[in-house]
Structure 1
């Protein structure tokens, strides 16, 4: 079986299973799981890619979460106004996470960016989540909890799909 065919089968089957799982749980973000899935393959599709994906995505989530907390809790908006205050905070946070790429654990800037972007997607597209109350809750309303859990699940499913695809490729052809 070709590499592409085995990958199509494994990602399709596990993608369906991941969708079923996240929808069954009800609080997880399938789109964040799929972003991490893509990140896993973008990062090499092996065990090291799994580590890179999880660590870097979670660092991106943490950076975005801190950014959001600063935006909603520090009174900069009163002084500088909207949209200047959040723009400046985002600007500084991006400079920080790119500078952190000097550390090997955070050296995958795209993987960190996926986590950062997924966090802001959740915060900006889900009513009520970009608030001090949600950002500090100990629940799945908090981006710091729901986004990394969703992304870790996606990365693990991605790893499973890569392993499954490899097994499909090694299967000997059936004699006719």
Structure 2
């Protein structure tokens, strides 16, 4: 089986299950919609963009989580300083964007796009950090699983030559 076909099957199956489960879960510990499909898919894309495997998972989780934290700090600071000021919001975003770039000096947080995705998901999910974080983590873990499942047919279909 070709690699992209196997990967497409594994991603399709897991994405379908994730969507069905997300749509059917209405509350978990008081959270509204604890699994947000598009947020999970954003993390899934980050995993593959970060190179996949364990290293890509680590970079995705670290960058997405700190991006969410930067988003929370941006929102908190802007609402504390001047909640109705577009200028203050813009300045807070500028500081946060700078921080998301500078943190990349540390290897586990070196995936800058992942940080911006984490912040964007936080804002896009209405500044609800709990369901954003849960969905980012679940999406990244499903991406890791989809890669592993997509490689199974390739591994089992190979024959290794035994030394004579």
Q: Following TM superposition, by how much is the alpha carbon of 1:91 offset from its aligned partner in structure 2, in angstroms?
A: 0.9
Aligned mates of 1:52, 1:97 — CA distance in 2: 13
Aligned mates of 2:13, 2:97 — CA distance in 1: 36
Which residue among 166, 173, 176 is the counterpart of 2:151?
Answer: 166
Aligned mates of 1:96, 1:45 — CA distance in 2: 24
1:93 aligns with 2:100: no
Q: Following TM superposition, by how much is the alpha carbon of 1:23 offset from its aligned partner in structure 2, in angstroms?
A: 1.5
Task: Name the structure 2 match of 1:145.
Answer: 130
Which residue among 138, 142, 145 is the counterpart of 1:157?
Answer: 142
Task: Name the structure 1 match of 2:45.
Answer: 38
Task: Name the structure 2 match of 1:61.
Answer: 68
1:70 aligns with 2:55: no
Q: Following TM superposition, by how much is the alpha carbon of 1:171 offset from its aligned partner in structure 2, in angstroms?
A: 3.2
How big is each residue's C-alpha offset from its partner over 1:101-143, in whole Å with a ceiling of 9 and x where there is no partner? 11122111011111011111112xxxxx5xxxxxxxxxxxxx2
TM-score, scaled to structure 2: 0.86
TM-score, scaled to structure 1: 0.81
Aligned-residue RMSD, C-alpha:
1.5
1:25 aligns with 2:21: no
Task: Name the structure 2 match of 1:110.
Answer: 113
Aligned mates of 1:90, 1:71 — CA distance in 2: 9
| Greater than 4 Å deviation, 4+ residue runs | none
1:15 aligns with 2:15: yes
* Number of residue pairs the alignment of both structures matches: 151
Consecutive unaligned residues of structure 2, counting only runs of 5 or more, are 27-32, 159-164
Aligned mates of 2:3, 2:44 — CA distance in 1: 17
Task: Name the structure 2 match of 1:126.
Answer: none
Which residue among 48, 54, 67 is the counterpart of 1:47?
Answer: 54
Aligned mates of 1:65, 1:118 — CA distance in 2: 11
SS at match of 1:171: helix
Q: Following TM superposition, by how much is the alpha carbon of 1:99 offset from its aligned partner in structure 2, in angstroms?
A: 1.2
Aligned mates of 1:21, 1:13 — CA distance in 2: 12
